[in-house]
Every structure is written in C-alpha cells, then in structure tokens.
Structure 1
Amino acid sequence: MLLTSFLLTVLYAGLSYGVLYDTYTGVPLSEELLEYYEKNGLKETCTVNIQPCDANEWRRVDGSCNNLQEPARATFFSPMARILDAAFSDGYKARKAESGQELPPPREVRLKLLKQTLSSHKLLNNNVPGFAAFVYIDIGSIHDNENLLGQTTYCCEAEHMNDFACTPNIISDDDPVFGPTDIRCMNSTRPLTYQMYQCTKDSVPSPIKKATSPFDLSQIYNAKNEGDKVLRTFKGGELAVEEENGELFPPNGPTAVCPTNVKPNETRCFEHYYGTFIPVTLLTTWFVRHHNFIASNLAKLNPCWDDETTFQTARDINIAFYKQVYFYEFNTALQGRNNLFKAGVITKDNGFRDDYDDTKSPAVTVEFSFMKRLFHLMQESRTMLYDVHGNFIEEFKTFDATFRTGMLANNMPSFTQSMFRAPCHGGDGTVDFELANFALPAFQRAIDALSGDISKNRNFGLAPYVEYIRHFMGYEINSFEDLKTAGLMTDEKIALLKSTYEHVKDVDLMAGGGWCEKNMKGGNIPLTAANIINDNTMRAIQSDRHWYERRDRPHAFTEKQLKEIRKSTLAGLMCAVGDGVSEIPKKAFFNISPKNPLVSCSSKEIKKLNFKAWVDPACKKQKQ
C-alpha cells in the first residue's frame, strides 16, 4: 500500500517528480485520501508537493526537507502542536467555568484586570513589541486578523451573532467607555482550523498556520508561500527592490493591498511582503535591504560565485543574523541572560553547539503563538516622531498607519528614530487606552485588542492558567491563596483575579500568566510566559537540521564565520540599513540612558560583520 501511494503521488506530480504529502499528517497521501481531496477540490489546500530531499542542500524556503525522514513536518500550513491538551466544552466551544456556568465575558475580564492609562516603560523601547510582532509573522500568520477585519466582519449583526464563525464580544450597558454610546458589541471570530478546511477528520479543532515552522525569515523569503523566485533579481544574489525618494523598498505590485493608504499620494504597497503594523513594515524593509547589503559584499569578495551561491549564502547569513538577535539579544532583554543560560536557550562559550534530534517535532505550539499577544501590553498608540538628530517633531497616532505602507516613502527616518528613541508602553499592568478601545478605527468602530486576546485564549481551547503552573513549575494551585503561597503574584493581583473569576481554575492563561503574574526574577516578563516561549525555543533548536550554531549541517559556518555572526545586533542592523541612523544605543532594545548612551554607528562599539570571513579560496585562485 505504501509503495502504491508513493508511486501514485510521484506520477500525479508529473514531470516535477515530487511526492504529494498530506499537510495535516505530514505523510505521503494514500490513494483514497488523494481521491477524496480531488473530488472535493481540496488538493491545493490540503496537500504539499515535495521534491526529493538532498542531505547536502541549502535550507528550503518552504520548510520542506528540514527533516529528511519526514520532509513535510515544517512546511507552510503544517499544523501546530499543543503543550497541554485542548480545553473545550459543548462541541468545542469555549470551556465552561468550574461551576458549569459561562466564564466572565472577555471585556469584563480586561476591564477588571488592566487599567487604561498612558505609561512609559522604564527599560524597554518600541523595538521590543515591534520585533515581537515581526518574529510572530515568521512562525505564525496574520490570517486571523485578515479574517476579522476583511472577511468575517459581521459578527455583531443580530442575524449572525450565533454563527459558528462568530464569537462576538458583548459590551455591557455600564461599560465605562461605551456605556453612553450605542456600541454594545465588538466583532470577534473563531480561529480558522484544518477542520473548517476539511483537511482532517480529527475532532479536536486545530488552528491553521500560514508560515513555515522554523525561525527562518519566512516573512522575507516565503511570506505568502510564493517561494523565493518571485522575489529575486537573479543578479548578484540580490532581492528585488525599488527606489523612491532616495530610499529602497520592496517592490510594489498590482495585487498588493494597503487599504488605509491615502490616495493619490501614498502609492507604496508591497507586492510580496506583509505591510501591516509600522514596526513590522520597517523591519521587513530593513531585512530585505540587509540581504542585499550582505549579497553585495559577498559578490565583491567572490566574483567567481554565481547568483545562486551568492543568494543562498546571503540568505543563510541573514537568517543567522536574525536568529542571533532574537535568541541572544531580544530574549535577553525579556528574560535576562542568566535565565536563558539555565533554560538552555543560549550558550556561554559562543562556540558551536549541536542539539539536533531528528525525532523532535518542529511544530510551533499553539501556546507560543498565542503568548506573542503578551506584547500588546507594551504597544503604544502614540508614535513619537523625531528627526535624525533626535529633535522631537510630532506625535502621530500609531493605528492611523496600520496597513498604510504608502506613508513611509516620505517618513522612514522619523519612524525609524521612533523605534529606539521612545519607550514602549509600561509593562506595569496597564494598557494603552486606544489599543483597549479603538485599536483599528479605519476598520471597525470599536476593537479592544486585549479583550480579543481573552477571546482567542478560549477559542484556541487553551487549558486553564493553573494547569500551566503545574506543568512547568510543579505547583498544585487549588485556591487563590495558593497563588500567594507560590509567590507568583502580589496580593493586589490575586484580589483582582478573585473578584473576576469564581474559582482559581477558571482563570484564563493570558489573564493569569500574562497580565497578573509578577515578572520573573532578573527579567521583564512573567515566568509562565517565559516557560512557554522557552519550550518552543528548545523545540526549534533541537528540530532544525539547518540550525546556524551546528558544526555538522549543510554549508555550515566555519569557526571564523560563526564568530562574525555572534556580532549580530539590532543596532548593527539599523546602522547598516536604517534610514538616517548615524547614532543609536548599543543595546537597541533598551531605552537611551547613562548606562546605555547613544554611540556613533561608525564606532567600534557597534560591531560590524567582516565579510572577509566568507572569502572563497577558489575565487582567489581564479583571479590569480
């Protein structure tokens, strides 16, 4: 049967000589399943055609062949895993409280637990929530937002409130913001699942993911599963860019969508990349430019290289640079270096390490994808714009620039400066007022992003908060008093939870582990959030055949090259390709301070990659 299935899928793929795999199970299609998908028009969605793997090839942009035994395990649209079993009730609707009653409404939970106020973080700047969103798009996807804002927009209409696709957030008559208005509902949608797509008959809903599973800059090299061919110039290993007002951007295109661009002047709209929140758009632009910055340097040093070699090497360096920043700099800002050492996320000696295990699953966990929403607490609704000398220009409403890539053509320097010159929101148990009420005014009258997080918490079927405490810390939490005994929260936060939920086992993961739990010792996020992040991080390190710190991987770095990669910092990226950046704090995720002053981009304190480490001796011989 397996042989028949293999031959069938090879033949079906025709001259491409690929094998059709099931996206959900990751195994070659059986004859019966292929017939079912064909009959119901599901083949394009529920299958992936994978070319034969080569143990020595470069990392593929679609995530295939990362595991040679199971080539479909990390591909675009492959399913997520769960740390704990799903918790649903009544046909996979939101779980009930311990009493059997409904859990408190999401808006009520948010209003009770998070104060609405302006607040500035004492340590961290806007690069932190911005980079978090950029990373999320690498391993998650924005399809849920696209569904909420552009497709299923009707969940507050009386005739649709009970649709299965809808989970509207109801607003009470005494709501402190909307009580005096006619607004009594916020649109909210159920996550799209493989079950909805008919890609599996498994009964437990599994949210879809439109991205590859590894940390591989898929938002740069395979953002919409279009592959790298549509992005490349095929000259000098570079990605395609366009110049506008003296600045380089990813190309425009006829199918690109930027719904909030102000016509006719704002025409810039990326064809093959996501142009969503301003920080994501900035980082996307910078990493596209950074690829070309790397490729041009490699091409000068190695004139004998063809386009493919230059492109693949530049991509490999760009991904490694990104990972070094994310794992060693970004996560250090959140958790503290010593905590990351203890968790095994980073190394102390800066040398090679090889934790690869081909039995480990690369699947991103639902909990990790969800916990990225924690950074809503650090998101500002006001963007403080500065000129390149640090002089304040004006205050701009952040959400007025969402899905509005066009405005950046004339404003890149000022938005770039805002990323490191302005603190992010407080991280102090408060939330920005606009984010909590009018997050996307161009799309819907009222959106509370944080109430939406509680809705997603339940719609994803995440287990109660106390179950994650038991899983990661071994504490049995059976009462609110147990939270105090465990030392996880202040008396004030415990009292707030007690006034919100009937029982401690009712507490949602985000409410307890994101909003109320104290920050971990030596870090800037709660311990439960850090545990969920590190759980997925270790999965990523152990399951990635192309992990950049491995000595034994295809096209592995030499010791000298890895030493150069260790220099990677966000400050280095922004100095190399940022607009108008001539000085920046060395620790670019932290606020400017006496301990973290501005330094010149030309100084030795901003470490720069020495591309001579990638000189190919064969090119030298040819030149001679």
Structure 2
Amino acid sequence: MWGRSSAMRMTALLCLLAVVLCDSSEKDELRKVEDDDDGSPVKRHEGDDASRNTRHVFPLSRVDGPTFARGLAYQNPTPSFSGITSFNQHFNRPVVFPPHSPSAHLTSYSPFSATPTILPTSPLQHANSGVSNFLGSNGGYSSRGQATIRQLHPVTTLHNVAPVVGHNRLDFPEAEKTEHHQGVGSSCRGHTTCSPLVSCAACFSELDPYDKCELEDGHFGVCCPPSPSPNAPNRRVFAVPNIFVKTPDISLYQLNEAAKAGLWEVAERDKLEQVLRTQDIVVSNPKSPEYRHLQFFKTSPRAMKFGRAAITVERSTVFLMKKFYLTSLQAGYGLRRFSVRDTILSDTCPEEPYCGEKEEYYRTIDGSCNNIRNPRWGQAKTALNRILPAHYEDGVFEPRGGISGRQLPSARVVSISNVADVDMPDPELTLSVMQMGQFIDHDLTSVPIFRFGNESGIQCCNDGAFVDPSMTHPACFPVEIPTDDPFFSRFGRRCMNFVRSMPTQNENCTFGSAQQMNQITHFLDGSNVYASSVEDERSIRAGRGGLLNVQGPALLPADPSASENSCDALNRGFDCFLAGDNRVNEQPDLAVIHTIFMREHNRLALQLAKINPQWDDETLYQEARRINVAQMQHIIYNEWLPIILGKDCMVNNLMLPRPDGFSRDYDPNVNAAIRNEFAAAAFRFGHTLVQGMFQLFGKNHQPTEKVQLHEHFNSPHLLYTPGKLDEFLRGLAKQPIQKFDNFVTEDLTNRLFQGMNNPFGMDLVALNIQRGRDHGIPPYNALREACGLPRARSFEDLLDVMPGPVVQRLSGVYDSVDDIDLFIAGIAERPVPGAVLGPTFKCIVADQFMRLRRGDRFFYEHGGLPNSFTEAQLREIKQTSWARIMCDNGDHIKAVQPLAMRLPGKLNMKVPCDSASIPKLDLTPWISVPY
C-alpha cells in the first residue's frame, strides 16, 4: 500500500513538473512576442528591452545588487533599503545621497526646528517576525507578495471624538472559489454564460486559464464566477465628529464685539499685504518652482471672497477664546453653538441655492441640489468634512504641533529620512491605474490657498532663505530645509515656499475651528471635464449640438488666459489647454486622459444627435454629459477601485456594481462631501505609483520615446505632434506603475515644478506632510485606531503593519509615536492582500467611496428616482470599460487588452478594438427619451 502511494505521488510530481516547465516556456515566449495594433505578432529582439534601465551597484544604499532609478526597469530584484538614495536622471547615472546626519536645523528667523535624525540604538524586530500579538505568526503572503493580515477588530472606544458608526472592514476572508475549468471555446457550466472579461473585472485574480471561453464573434471571453456575496455586509460610514463641550454663555453684544475684532484683524492684514506688494515681497519669478507651483493652485475670486469671510470668523473665534479663557476644545467645538447669522457678520454666510424642476433630472454644474433636503451638501466652495476632529495647535487654526508641545520635525527632514527613489515596478498593473487616480482626484478635490487681493502669490521664502518675520504674511507656513540636505544644499536652499490652505464657512455658519474649502464639487460628476461653475462651463461649451469646444481635429481648446509665465508650452510655440479643471496641463498623461473624456462626450453628443434629431443643444449636452459621467463611475467602481481596495472590501462594503439591475443604495442622510483626511493625506497615495519616466509606444508597440516627467510640467506640447496622443495611450496600457510603498520618484521629491533651465524644484512628499499639518489632520495613530487597528503605544507596536526598517527610521525623526504624520505612515504600511493600499489608507478611501456612491442622488446605478436610467440604458452603461474608451477615442488605437488597467497576460491578451471582448455601448435605448 505504501509503495503504491509513493509511486502515485511520484507520478503526480512528474506531471506537475511538466506543467510548470511548459508554463514557464510559454511565459518566456510571451515575453518575446507581442501583438501589433492589428493583432499580428511582432518579434522583439532579446537585447532590445527598452523598459530596462540598468544601473551601477550602490554601496551606500543597496546591499543586494544593482539598483534602478524609479522609472523604466521591469522585473528587477526587490531592493532592501539602507540610507537615502536618489538619481540624476538627466545623465542616467547614480547620484548617491548619504544617510541623513543628525543636526538641529535652525535659522535666525525660523520658528520651525527639526528633530535630529538619530536612529535608535536598540534594533527593532522586523515587521514579518510575528512580534505583535495582533498579528500572531507572520503567516503567508498573497500573490502580490504582501503579508497576510488577520481580520481586524471593530472599533470599541474613541477618546474625545464621536464614535464610528459601524466599522469599515479592513480585511475579509477569501471567498470560497468555485471551480469552472472550462476548455477554450466551450460553453460555461451552470447558469453562467461566456462573458467579456470586464463583466468580472473585480474577480480577475480568482480566474485561471481554464475559465477562458469563446464569445459569439470567436474572440475570447471568460466564465465569470458567481456574483460574490458579502460575508458581513456593512452599510455604515464614519459618523460626523460631533463634540459637545460646555462653554460659558456669550451674549449677542459680546459676539458682535468679537466680530468687530475679527474685521479689524483682517483690515490689518490688508495693510500688511499692501506693504508686501509695495516692497515686491511676492512670488514674481516665473522660472522659480514656487511660481509654477502657485499656478497649480488657482483661486477663484469667489473662493477668495468666501475665504476672507471665513478668516474673519476664525479671528473672531480666537478673540472669544482669549477673552473667556477657553480651552482649545471649547474654542474649536464649544463655540459652534453660536451662529454667525445672528451677528454683524451675517451677510458673510452663504445663501441656500434654489432647486427647481430641472435639478430633479440633471446635475447642477456646481453640485448644489444633489441632496434635496440639504442642497448645499457637496456644493463647490463648501467645506471639507472630517472623520476625526481637527488637531489644530490652538484648537482653531494653528497648524498641528507635537504631542509634547514641541515643534514637529521639518517635513523635508521626514521626507529625506523615510523616502527614496528606488525602482519597484508593479508586476500586474499598468500606468492607467496611477493616471486614473489623479484624474479622479481632480474631479473630487481642489483646495485653494491664500493669495494677495490682486491674485499674486504670497512669498514666504526669499531666494531660498526665510523672509524676515516682520515681513512674513500670516498665511506663510514654509518648510525648513536642513543645511546638510542631500539635494537642496547644493543650491543654498534653506526654505521651501508653502502657503496655507484657504478656509470657508462651516456647514451651519457658526464660530469655531476652521474648515478648509473645496472649490470644486465633491461628487464623482466629471467636474474636471465639465467645470464647477457656470462661468467656467460656458468657456468650454461649443454652444451647438451639445458639444464641448475643441481645437484642430480633436484636441482640447487653447487656454486664452495662459501666459508664457504659467505655460511652458508657449515657450515652445504651443498653447496650453483649457478644460473643466485648471490643472489639466500639469503633466502630459493627465492632459491625455482629459482629452479622451472630452472626445467621448463629443462622440456621444454626435451619436445622440443622429438618433434624436429633434433634441436641442442643451438636451444633447446634458444627456451626453449624463452618459459620460455614468461611464466614468462604472469604470471607477468596476475596474479601478477593486484594484485599490481589493475585491473583498468592495463586496463587504456593497460597492461593487450589480451584474444587472438597479441598486437601492441612495441614502439622503449620507453626506458625500470629501473628508479632509482623504483629501490631505490618504488619496495622495498615488504619488508613490508615479513613474519618473514615461515610455511611449508606436503602432507596432515598440518603444518610440522616453519622456522625463519633470521636464514636462505645465507643458503639453507633445500632444500637438500627430500620433503622439496614441503613443501616450499605449504607454498607459503597457507600462507598469510603481508599487505602493514609501519609494517616490525624484521627479517629485526634488524636481517638482522644476522650470526650464532650472536645476531644482520642490519636494511633493514634504509638501504633503506640511499640508496635513496645515489642515489639522490628526496624527497617524488616531486614524489607525479609528480604522480598527490597536492604538500604538510605542514605535515597536507599528511592526504589525510596517516593515522594521521603516519603523526604525520613523522613530529616528519623531519624538513620539503619536506625532507621526498620517501621509508618511500611510504609505509605509504593507498593502492588504489583494489590494494596493495598506489598512489605514484603505479604510479612509473605502469610507469616502462608500459616501460617493450612497450619498450621490445621481449615481448611475441608483433606481427608483426621477433621474434614474432605464433598465436598458443601465445595461448598456455596464458594458463600458476603460479599454473601450481608449479604443473609441484614440486616433488610431486598433487593439488593447480588455482590462487596460492590468498588464497583458494569458487571460488579458490584447484583442482588436472591434472584438466582442471589448463591448461597445449601444445608444438605441436613448432614442427619444429627453426629460
């Protein structure tokens, strides 16, 4: 019996070995053969791997072999981090930055001191060593090489904050997989039918080659697994922080006295601004990164008006705090029971918008009237909401400080001590994931910063040094650069310009802590395509046929307000573009995706006009906009968000689109407004995914050109070259993103908004950290606890979700575990299995997208509402995919993989655009159905 069993085992092992060898040879062959746009195979030369960018050994920063600049190196060994590295990508040679040495970085004018970056003398145990009882043993790893984390416990107690209603589940057990094992070309078993791959995009990681089947046109499809059911469905989101603090009675006379004090302080600020402008202490050098950075933060006149009113109330609140000796909690939250509407500042409170019959069926351009009961929820120029109460130093508006009362370490010191430029390409995901994320962000958030009354920029640094305190604008919050900075010290820079975000009145127009403004709509409504104000919308509409303006054959219109100072493309003889969002020109791939969705709108409008010739311009425009936004939402929730959060999180939080039919998820009690923790920290995770070098591909999918990111900020000139837009699109579907980690390209950490002929830029990681402090974002430990992780009592407690070397570096720059900034810790967490994000960022992002689905009356899947699609229309919208949008709106895109956010592979092979594998939207259900 034993001998027979051994023989059977040996036979099985030999069979398995044969399969593995066969599979390996097939993979090698796949790497050598790629399809042309028309599907014909193209042989690649062994030595012509344009994606590889070899480097020399780095003795000071690498201990395991060659290192690669964060850009085009595929399939490289995973590096182990030691010290600080970056690269000079102009010359493709390594530039070694030694580990940051301890120093106290002070200037005679700077109030910001940096904590010495001394690493702890006692070694910390590695994150995977199982030191935490929370994790138990270190367990296994997911297919993406991520440590498995056990399901987290629900939140039980929060200190000094409103409780979290329900619990955003951070990890969920893997759903039991149903075996299909269908042969290629065969029909599917059970009740499933052969479907396009996009029909089960969220389940892609559970599919195998045996799930492949043949569609009616002969191209491949898949046998989708049964629709997953939630293990423990969660319909709840974080409760709004609502702190009740006893405060003394304050009379109307005393409130008006405070209001007068606030008005006086704002008038004094006006006088200071006049002096600063007279002495030319403004950001005026158009070649400087500060000037170019300010162009990214357009502040509309209306936003400036709201900001002025809010700062008046903020100064009035500080007056009351001092007069009545209030605690920071009493001032920030206790004073909210006193309305500004009762005072002499009543005219600064915004009016309620009018909601008529049209608003029942179509979105307003500024987001108002989405919620009929609360018409200002989600409206442009309203405040960001919060998950946890603000952590301002004074409880009202001063940036967050250290838990001990000391200054937090310089944001630049935190950046250079924890973030390096190391190439870690993702083995599964394409650059489309990063670019779609930025496009989504620009649809959801745009926080303005303070400016002078004439809209010129506030200068906090003078030629790299701090401005004299007597001439420093109150909105200045500059980042201190250490004297021994590994990059900026070469150029004598000690100060990085940083201007604070502009607040707006809170929802109820009361006294209390400041809340930052979102000057665009808070919804996933395509505001980056269609704008967030009537004036901006008017400038991008053609006024005929429901179309958006274009220039030339089908490029975005030229921006008539652009100057050579704000648009580098003009210095090269080309115009910058105009779109619904002013950040369209930041970098070429962003302009590409803007162009694609503009073209999709016009394609829809032209087709609708053919089948409904009686429709006027307004009806065609609104219907095309409505369909286009619905397609965006479907792509986000069907393809993009399951990659970011993982399928299990999507299923258990009821966010996956239904296979068919409507959802009944709309809840008028859910406010979809963007959370501050999401905008200022968690949704900036995409900065770690950015490639420093974009690879373009020609019609035969061979590399044609490499585009260095920092050389193309504010300059979309390449898109004017015929065929170049398609080359960028192929790069989006072919080049991988960087992995989610604490490695960020030097193009963002040293060369952000680096101008032409300028040797340096700014540091986006440092700016992110500083922005979080500016907004009063609570420290990482508070959000970690709110999301269900145990509160860290020491740095060692962070090992449950972070690697040991990362924890060691954090302990070297922060005095306390309660000081750690949310952004820097969030990108340091290990990704949750099946997701891109770690547990804390996943929790925050999931909460926001639950709100954006359930709190948006116009969300495409909602049924039973006056604005709902018909069932036939909804069925067609659910056919859409990012691949189909690319196919329909590129110039000459002939083939792409069905899931264009995933790299091509056996189940995701490139197919012709006219294939049933990439379904098309049929507009027949829209014949003669105007509202």
The verdict on a shared fold, with TM-score over 0.5 as the criterion, is yes
Q: Give yes or no for the alignment of 1:87 onto 2:391.
A: yes
1:32-181 matches, cutoff 5 A = 36=345, 50=354, 52=356, 56-90=360-394, 92-141=397-446, 143-144=448-449, 151-155=457-461, 156-159=464-467, 163-181=473-491
Q: Give the partner amino acid of 1:254.
A: P
Q: Give yes or no for the alignment of 1:322 onto 2:632.
A: yes
Query: Structure 1 unaligned runs (5+)?
Result: 1-21, 620-624
Indicate if the aligned counterparts of 1:124 and 1:589 stay in contact, CA closer than 8 A.
yes
Q: Which segment drifts farther, 451-460 or 332-341? A: 332-341
Give 1:550's match in structure 2, choosing from 843, 855, 862. Answer: 862
**Residues 157/107 of structure 1: CA separation in 2 closer, same or farther (3 Å cut):** closer
Indicate if the aligned counterparts of 1:118 and 1:433 stay in contact, CA closer than 8 A.
no
Number of the residue aligned with 2:498 = 188
**Residues 618/358 of structure 1: CA separation in 2 closer, same or farther (3 Å cut):** closer
Mapped to 2, the partners of 1:466 and 1:271 lie a distance apart of: 39
Give 2:707's match in structure 1, choosing from 381, 396, 413. Answer: 396
Q: Give the partner amino acid of 1:250.
A: L
Mapped to 2, the partners of 1:80 and 1:397 lie a distance apart of: 34
Mapped to 1, the partners of 2:362 and 2:352 lie a distance apart of: 19
Indicate if the aligned counterparts of 1:290 and 1:576 stay in contact, CA closer than 8 A.
yes
**Residues 137/144 of structure 1: CA separation in 2 closer, same or farther (3 Å cut):** farther
Q: Which segment drifts farther, 258-267 or 71-80? A: 258-267
Number of the residue aligned with 1:270 = 578
Mapped to 2, the partners of 1:407 and 1:34 lie a distance apart of: 55
**Residues 127/224 of structure 1: CA separation in 2 closer, same or farther (3 Å cut):** farther
1:114 CA drift (Å): 1.6
Indicate if the aligned counterparts of 1:98 and 1:503 stay in contact, CA closer than 8 A.
yes
Mapped to 1, the partners of 2:561 and 2:381 lie a distance apart of: 22
| Structure 2 SS opposite 1:450 | helix
Indicate if the aligned counterparts of 2:384 and 2:515 stay in contact, CA closer than 8 A.
yes
Indicate if the aligned counterparts of 2:460 and 2:498 stay in contact, CA closer than 8 A.
no
Give 2:716's match in structure 1, choosing from 388, 398, 405. Answer: 405
Give 1:302's match in structure 2, choosing from 599, 612, 637. Answer: 612
Q: Give yes or no for the alignment of 1:616 onto 2:924.
A: no
Query: Structure 2 unaligned runs (5+)?
Result: 1-305, 311-338
Matched-pair identity in %:
26
Mapped to 1, the partners of 2:355 and 2:838 lie a distance apart of: 43
Indicate if the aligned counterparts of 2:466 and 2:494 stay in contact, CA closer than 8 A.
no
Mapped to 2, the partners of 1:495 and 1:611 lie a distance apart of: 57
Q: Which segment drifts farther, 162-171 or 106-115? A: 162-171
1:394-433 matches, cutoff 5 A = 394-410=705-721, 411-433=724-746
Q: Give the partner amino acid of 2:511.
A: D
Number of the residue aligned with 2:524 = 215
Mapped to 1, the partners of 2:638 and 2:929 lie a distance apart of: 31
1:360-388 superposed Cα distances (whole Å, 9 cap, x missing partner): 22211111112221111111221212223
Q: Give yes or no for the alignment of 1:495 onto 2:808.
A: yes
Indicate if the aligned counterparts of 1:115 and 1:430 stay in contact, CA closer than 8 A.
yes
Q: Give the partner amino acid of 2:711.
A: D
Number of the residue aligned with 1:539 = 851
Give 1:569's match in structure 2, choosing from 860, 864, 881. Answer: 881
Mapped to 1, the partners of 2:743 and 2:930 lie a distance apart of: 59
Query: Which TM-score applies when normalising by structure 1?
Result: 0.86
Give 1:226's match in structure 2, choosing from 535, 556, 561. Answer: 535
Deviation beyond 4 Å, 4+ runs, structure 1: 22-25, 30-38, 46-49, 144-147
1:433-448 matches, cutoff 5 A = 433-442=746-755, 445-448=760-763
Indicate if the aligned counterparts of 2:450 and 2:475 stay in contact, CA closer than 8 A.
no
| Structure 2 SS opposite 1:68 | coil
Mapped to 2, the partners of 1:491 and 1:62 lie a distance apart of: 47
Q: Give the partner amino acid of 2:918.
A: I
Indicate if the aligned counterparts of 2:798 and 2:807 stay in contact, CA closer than 8 A.
yes
**Residues 272/342 of structure 1: CA separation in 2 closer, same or farther (3 Å cut):** closer
Number of the residue aligned with 2:797 = 482
1:421-456 superposed Cα distances (whole Å, 9 cap, x missing partner): 222223343111221111111188430111111111
Number of the residue aligned with 1:282 = 592
| Structure 1 SS opposite 2:554 | strand
Indicate if the aligned counterparts of 1:144 and 1:191 stay in contact, CA closer than 8 A.
yes
Indicate if the aligned counterparts of 1:255 and 1:271 stay in contact, CA closer than 8 A.
no
1:53 CA drift (Å): 5.4
Mapped to 2, the partners of 1:70 and 1:589 lie a distance apart of: 37
Indicate if the aligned counterparts of 2:450 and 2:500 stay in contact, CA closer than 8 A.
no
Indicate if the aligned counterparts of 1:76 and 1:225 stay in contact, CA closer than 8 A.
no
Q: Give the partner amino acid of 1:242.
A: Q
1:579-618 superposed Cα distances (whole Å, 9 cap, x missing partner): 3322222211122344433222121111211111222389
Indicate if the aligned counterparts of 1:55 and 1:554 stay in contact, CA closer than 8 A.
no
1:576 CA drift (Å): 0.7
Q: Give yes or no for the alignment of 1:511 onto 2:824.
A: yes
Q: Give the partner amino acid of 2:545.
A: G
Mapped to 1, the partners of 2:930 and 2:730 lie a distance apart of: 42
1:471 CA drift (Å): 1.1
Mapped to 1, the partners of 2:572 and 2:892 lie a distance apart of: 26
1:107-145 superposed Cα distances (whole Å, 9 cap, x missing partner): 111122222233322222221221111111111116449
**Residues 268/34 of structure 1: CA separation in 2 closer, same or farther (3 Å cut):** farther
Indicate if the aligned counterparts of 2:369 and 2:376 stay in contact, CA closer than 8 A.
yes
Indicate if the aligned counterparts of 2:694 and 2:706 stay in contact, CA closer than 8 A.
yes
**Residues 421/298 of structure 1: CA separation in 2 closer, same or farther (3 Å cut):** same
Mapped to 1, the partners of 2:597 and 2:404 lie a distance apart of: 50
**Residues 127/55 of structure 1: CA separation in 2 closer, same or farther (3 Å cut):** closer
1:449-507 superposed Cα distances (whole Å, 9 cap, x missing partner): 111111111111111111112112152322223333xx322223322222232221111
Q: Give the partner amino acid of 2:664.
A: D
**Residues 319/145 of structure 1: CA separation in 2 closer, same or farther (3 Å cut):** farther
**Residues 524/54 of structure 1: CA separation in 2 closer, same or farther (3 Å cut):** same
Mapped to 2, the partners of 1:194 and 1:365 lie a distance apart of: 15
Give 1:291's match in structure 2, choosing from 596, 601, 619. Answer: 601
Mapped to 1, the partners of 2:876 and 2:752 lie a distance apart of: 41
Q: Give the partner amino acid of 1:503.
A: S
Indicate if the aligned counterparts of 1:139 and 1:213 stay in contact, CA closer than 8 A.
yes
| Structure 1 SS opposite 2:376 | coil
Mapped to 1, the partners of 2:403 and 2:343 lie a distance apart of: 43
1:106 CA drift (Å): 1.0
Q: Give yes or no for the alignment of 1:313 onto 2:623.
A: yes
1:177 CA drift (Å): 2.0
Considering only aligned residues, what root-mean-square deviation do their CA atoms show, in Å?
3.1
**Residues 249/52 of structure 1: CA separation in 2 closer, same or farther (3 Å cut):** same
Number of the residue aligned with 1:461 = 776
1:146 CA drift (Å): 9.4
1:232-285 superposed Cα distances (whole Å, 9 cap, x missing partner): 334332222222xxx402322422455211436212432654322322211211
Q: Give yes or no for the alignment of 1:338 onto 2:653.
A: no
Number of the residue aligned with 2:257 = none
**Residues 160/289 of structure 1: CA separation in 2 closer, same or farther (3 Å cut):** farther
Mapped to 1, the partners of 2:512 and 2:465 lie a distance apart of: 29
1:200-256 superposed Cα distances (whole Å, 9 cap, x missing partner): 66341211111111111111112455254443334332222222xxx4023224224
Query: Which TM-score applies when normalising by structure 2?
Result: 0.58
Q: Give the partner amino acid of 2:871.
A: E
1:349 CA drift (Å): 3.6
Q: Give the partner amino acid of 2:656.
A: I
